[in-house]
Chains A and B, each alone.
Chain A
Amino acid sequence: MYLVQFLLLSSILFCIGVYGVLARRNAVLVLMSIELILNAVNINLIAFGAFNGAQIPAEVFALFIIAVAAAEVGVGLALVLTIYRNSKSIDLHQVDLLKG
């Protein structure tokens, strides 16, 4: 297998995630797109680790990223829930309290 296979797959997933973040207006779908981006990064880490023969540090940092992503989803969904409770909608167009 070539390194570039994994890097290209990860770039494509990353860009699909970026598209999701930009194009979706439902907050939960935006969080899902962010998960796509984080997973793309993890593929990169593991692929470079296998390529360099430094698998252990790569795996450790991939595990750390998985932990951070789980924490991020927990807090993110709590915020979405609070927004829903306050404005009865999670349409990101309507979250404009700070807009001047």
Chain B
Amino acid sequence: MITAVASMVSAPVLGAVVAQNVFFYLIAAVMVIAALRVVTTSNIVHAALYLVVVLAGVAAQFLLLGAEFVGITQVLVYIGAVIVLFLFGIMLTRAKVGNEDGLDHDNVIPAILTAVLLVLVMGYAVVDFAGDEEIDVLGNSPTTVEQVSDSIFSTYIVAFEAISVLLLAALIGAIVVARKE
């Protein structure tokens, strides 16, 4: 009886946790496949479009972790601006839209070895360090945009100003570098 009541109480929570895991693995699988396509496809425009899938997946993971504002910013900045910048870069440097050879180095074996070795070492370290640490997203207090902005404009005001100056410098630098003589 008591266990039945307890299971009724915890059933929605359990269902939410199961749903979180299902969505995590679905999105993660899509992200990894799309990321592999980004670095292997022979069509440079397709690479940019697969990158959209990866970035949207990252935004979805942010939402899963309860960071709504960062997820929305990810969509706005990356999918809205950075991808357009990439497509402009592709358009301005290559007239050809379609498959082409010579996007990869002649010998990619060392690169594959490096990446596989790195993922093995990092995977081992990560599993060894955080093998059974649980993230209690439902137990965390939800974060509001108000809290984030309060924190940016009080605790991290120096970093914020530095980022502002960096963005201005990058803007002017990009214009100066790319400008025709």
Contacts and interface: CB of A to CB of B under 8 A. Distances in A.
A13 B130 contact: no
Contact of B73 (A11, A14, A39, A63): A63
Contact of B104 (A3, A23, A59): A23
- Chain A contact-residue range equals 35 or more
A20 B47 CA distance: 11
- Chain B contact-residue range equals 35 or more
A57 B137 CA distance: 16
B133 A46 contact: no
Interface SS majority for chain B: helix
B43 to A, nearest CB: 11
A95 interface: no
A73 B173 CA distance: 12
A23 B115 CA distance: 10
Contacts of B32: 9, 12-13, 16
Q: Which 7 A-B pairs have the closest CB atoms?
A: A71-B170, A20-B39, A22-B111, A19-B115, A78-B178, A23-B111, A78-B174
21 contacts: A2-B134, A3-B133, A4-B131, A9-B31, A9-B61, A13-B54, A15-B122, A17-B35, A17-B39, A18-B114, A22-B111, A28-B44, A35-B55, A47-B65, A49-B67, A62-B67, A66-B77, A67-B163, A71-B170, A71-B171, A81-B178
Interface of A: 1-9, 11-20, 22-29, 31-33, 35-36, 39, 42-43, 46-47, 49-51, 53, 55-60, 62-64, 66-75, 77-82, 84-85, 90-91, 93
